[in-house]
């Protein structure tokens, strides 16, 4: 019987769009996949929490098309991530430095200047 994941445990925020996600191991060995934190019926993945608190994900396959036991249906975050749009302006990584302005010396007015024309 599928379960639902803990509402907050293991949940972090996507660094690109801020959406709540969970990092899972898989589906390929050694791979790390961000999942939407909430289960999705449209998901093509099944995730389950290990005894150590980690999250493991596998792909739903024709012979195992439904989440089993403690698995829940998950969807990878990338397709729904709204933070990858490159057209959005992003703040520059390094603040723009204006050329240092020469400090105006405290200079007395030249002789004859100042009142001319009045
Ligand atoms: Zn995102």
60 and 27 Cβ atoms separated by less than 8 Å: no
Tell me, in angstroms, the distance from the centre of ligand 1 to residue 105's CA: 52
CA distances from 52 to 14, 15, 48, 55, 56 (A): 23, 25, 11, 9, 11
Domains of the chain by residue range = 11-80
Which residues are placed with Cβ below 5 angstroms of ligand 1, an ion?
Answer: 14, 16-17, 19, 81, 83
Q: How far apart are the first and last CA of the chain?
A: 94
Residue 2 pLDDT class (50, 70, 90 cuts): low
Residue 109 pLDDT class (50, 70, 90 cuts): low
34 and 47 Cβ atoms separated by less than 8 Å: no
Tell me, in angstroms, the distance from the centre of ligand 1 to residue 46's CA: 20
Does this model's pTM top 0.75? My answer is no
User: How many residues are given for the chain?
Assistant: 118
pLDDT 10s digits, 11-62 = 999 999 999 999 999 999 999 999 999 999 989 999 999 988 899 999 999 9
How far apart, in whole angstroms, are the C-alpha atoms of residue 29 and residue 52? 18
Tell me, in angstroms, the distance from the centre of ligand 1 to residue 19's CA: 6
Tell me, in angstroms, the distance from the centre of ligand 1 to residue 69's CA: 28
């Amino acid at each position: 019987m599928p379960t639902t994941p803990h509402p907050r445990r293991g949940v972090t925020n996507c660094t690109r769009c801020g959406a709540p996600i969970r990092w899972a191991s898989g589906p390929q060995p050694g791979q790390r996949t961000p999942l939407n934190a909430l289960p999705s019926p449209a998901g093509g993945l099944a995730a389950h929490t290990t005894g150590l608190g980690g999250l493991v994900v596998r792909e739903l396959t024709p012979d195992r098309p439904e989440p089993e036991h403690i698995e829940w249906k998950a969807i990878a975050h990338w397709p729904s991530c709204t933070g990858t749009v490159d057209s959005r302006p992003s703040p520059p990584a390094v603040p723009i430095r204006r050329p240092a302005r020469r400090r105006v010396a405290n200079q007395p007015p030249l002789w004859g200047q100042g009142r001319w024309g009045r």
